[in-house]
Amino acid sequence: MDHVISGVAKFQKDVYPTKKETFQKLANGQNPEVLFITCADSRIDPNLVTQTDPGELFICRNAGNIVPPHSNQTGGMTASIEFAVAALGVTHIVVCGHTDCGAMKGALNPEKLDSLPHVKEWLGHCRCASEVVKEKHGELTADQLDELTKENVLQQMQHLRTHPAVAAKLATDQVQLHGWVYNIESGTVLCHNPETGVFEEMEQAYAERKLVAAK
């Protein structure tokens, strides 16, 4: 904990002065372009990976980068998504999974989560992804962790479409959805390309999307 406390002191002394003007502007409001939904895993730093400054990303984090389907029962994710889209007017939503995800390991072996009942229930929102992978292979094994991680991103994007605020903006082309998977070891980011249906290197995926949009 000492290094965390000393980090605050370093921020106040060395970092804040260099970005003082930015923070003064942010003191009275925010105008992020992107809602970034990712895992709570301590190894993931959205601002570091995307090289963005405070105020650019509206970040929602939880175990497994999960988006529960919309329901009449209010939850933190539901409220945050509604606020980001309907009130802040974000124009892009990223669902970002990652390699070696503990939540996805739990989804592969839910029977091992009996001592973590809340985690087990939460990961029920990944069941659709698990069933898709299982249907393709006949079983779920540790070898399918990366595939499940990608499929989970796609299923959470599907869940996003059930949220009224998101559905409305998608219908009028005011919001775009993006599915990413971050590789912790290599630092690479794979992006789902809706044209090919696969996850590709970021530059390739977005180059193809721009090409299609230009036609």
92 is in an annotated binding site: no
Residue 177: pLDDT band with limits 50, 70, 90? very high
Query: Position 65: which residue type?
Result: N
Residue 34: strand pairing partners: 57, 92
Question: Per-residue pLDDT tens for 67-93?
Answer: 999 998 889 999 999 999 999 999 999
Residue 215 has pLDDT above 60, yes or no: no
The pLDDT value given to residue 210: 64
* 41 marked as part of a ligand binding site: yes
* pLDDT tens digit sequence for 150-176: 999 999 999 999 999 999 999 999 999
Confidence of residue 206 (pLDDT cuts 50, 70, 90): confident
Return the CATH number at 73. Answer: 3.40.1050.10
* Residue 18 near residue 76, CB atoms below 8 Å: no
Q: Quick one: pLDDT at residue 203?
A: 81
- Please write the tens of the pLDDT for every residue from 21-60: 999 999 999 999 999 999 999 999 999 999 999 999 999 9
Give the tens place of pLDDT for each residue, 99-157: 999 999 999 999 999 999 999 999 999 999 999 999 999 989 999 999 999 999 999 99
What's residue 211's pLDDT? 58
- For residue 85, being part of any structural domain is answered with yes
Q: Concatenate the DSSP letters of all residues of 93-130 into one string.
A: EEEEEETT-HHHHHHH-GGGGTT-HHHHHHGGGGHHHH
Residue 147 forms part of a structural domain: yes
Q: Is 98 annotated as a binding residue?
A: yes
Query: Which tokens in the block code for residue 118?
Result: 């809340």
C-alpha span between 46 and 35 (Å, rounded): 11
Residues 77 and 60: beta-carbon distance below 8 Å: yes
136 falls within a domain: yes
The band of 208, judged by pLDDT with boundaries at 50, 70 and 90, is: low
Helix (H/G/I), strand (E/B), else coil: 147? helix
Q: What is the pLDDT of residue 87?
A: 98
- Compute the CA torsion angle 69, 75, 79, 81 (nearest 10 deg): -40
Question: Which domain does 155 fall in, by range?
Answer: 37-187
78 lies in a domain?
yes
Has residue 14 been placed in a domain? no
- Asked if residue 95 belongs to a domain, the reply is yes
Using left for φ > 0, alpha for ψ between -120 and 50, and beta otherwise, residue 116 falls in: beta
Is residue 11 included in any domain, yes or no?
A: no
Q: How many domains, the chain? A: 1
Residue 22 lies in a domain: no
